[in-house]
Structure 1
């Protein structure tokens, strides 16, 4: 079984992520203030350009869908690497700017994980992608397969 605490420990050690290694880019980002409780991982994504948002994602112990997984994770490191690949795609393609919908919780601004990626601010595009990705994401990995 993959332990939530192992994933949290992995994410606390993640080095800043770069679009192109060795060449600074405004979309480069770091993970900060990683928190893990009750089957949920909560952390801040801070981009080089100063944009920032928090994100909450479900951990294996929750039994809830984890749409960033593209295949069954072998261990905590594999789970973490799949999450980082998904974060890279979301941050490097759309960033944390105005195209992303935000929710305010606990006094902080959060981007929201959807089955297709970070929730979009455009309601029509959000609806289209929600239908396209389906209830279990592009990869159709259910919690039963995890």
Structure 2
């Protein structure tokens, strides 16, 4: 019986390691956002939408900016972000689980567009060839 319990415990440990192996944690993404936060060239606070653009429809965003950092919601996700000149960096999470990161660049019309990566830092070399989604974020009229 002891051998069977040890086997089941080992199987459980392998399963848990496999499930958590690709997930990001808040410490990793907070460090990334802090490193990216920089010169503020615009205010991203307010209402935005991803509908009607070339990328996936993630829903509406409500963002609040505090210096070079911002937070809010995008569809069903919470957002933590940073701004540096013409780029914004997003972390999309639900509860304490990080699901996506994104790097978006501001266009001439004030919208942002870029790539979204699941379970990885969007610009990390390990994810350079990873599958990604497009996000197009445009401000809603006030």
TM-score by length of 1: 0.34
Structure with more of its chain in helix, by fraction: 1
Structure with more of its chain in strand, by fraction: 2
TM-score by length of 2: 0.35
Which has the larger Rg? 2
